[in-house]
Structure 1
């Protein structure tokens, strides 16, 4: 019998849990270099988890992190409002297709309403069918392009 994961928002005391989430991301995205090899210090992560501009939500089965999402609050300049940019979302392979991602997004939606966010947005790669299917069930899609622009001197 599978344990139904609990979903919670991380706070400043959850640096270790955030590190466990980085391991989930590394495995799910097959990118250990980005998520494991250059992790910031504990004080950096504590400070990040203390700010209202960053948010991390995890799904835990017992003491194991089996999924999570992270993102950023973006205050707008053209109106007195803010949106939430859902930056990363992943679920461990053995917990997929069990409603974990949906539960985390529903928690984010509740939190967004409580904090007065005017919207949530997320990007997905065109070849990521499962992510597109999930987001299409929960929101309205737009056909946009994403460009990464390097800082001066950093190369293309």
Structure 2
């Protein structure tokens, strides 16, 4: 397995089977051009089999932390440590960028994600509620 950062639109488009839906070239370009956005892709025999995306969040009185935005591993490659390896690689990258920590929001009933993040060293910091605003165009 080889984990490396995505640097081109072609790499993101090649990994779209790992996303919730089809990747768009224009959104991929914007992602890559956005400071603090990062996607690490895991390859086995040159084929993308997992990804993790992170976004640096900066605040004037807190500094910079990494938000683990999304993690995905191809179903045929699950339960082999790829999710943990991707999570650990993102944490290492966060540390190298000077982030003081990393966090992820997880549904409380998502046992696979909770086990993966726990295996990668995450600690439960308590329950929180996530609220959202739909934005229409």
Q: TM-score range by the shorter chain?
A: 0.7 to 0.9
Q: Is the 8 A contact 2:42 2:50 kept in 1?
A: yes
Where structure 2 has 5 or more consecutive residues not aligned to the other structure, the ranges are none
Which residue number in structure 2 is paired with residue 15 of structure 1? 9
Residue among 128, 131, 134 paired with 1:144: 128
Q: Distance in 2 between matches of 1:148 and 1:47?
A: 22
Which residue number in structure 2 is paired with residue 76 of structure 1? 59
Which residue number in structure 2 is paired with residue 31 of structure 1? none
**C-alpha offsets along residues 55-111 of structure 1, whole Å, 9 cap, x if unaligned?**
0001001221000011211111323x1111111101001111111111111211221
Residue among 74, 82, 85 paired with 1:92: 74
Q: Distance in 2 between matches of 1:62 and 1:51?
A: 29
Q: Distance in 2 between matches of 1:113 and 1:72?
A: 13
1:124 to partner: Cα distance: 1.1
**C-alpha offsets along residues 17-56 of structure 1, whole Å, 9 cap, x if unaligned?**
2123332123xxxxxxxx21xx4334x4234213332100
Aligned length: 134
**C-alpha offsets along residues 128-147 of structure 1, whole Å, 9 cap, x if unaligned?**
11101122232111211111
TM-score, length of structure 2 as denominator length:
0.87
Where structure 1 has 5 or more consecutive residues not aligned to the other structure, the ranges are 27-34
**Higher strand proportion (structure 1 or 2):** 2
Which residue number in structure 2 is paired with residue 59 of structure 1? 42
Q: Distance in 2 between matches of 1:61 and 1:41?
A: 24
Residue among 22, 25, 28 paired with 1:45: 28
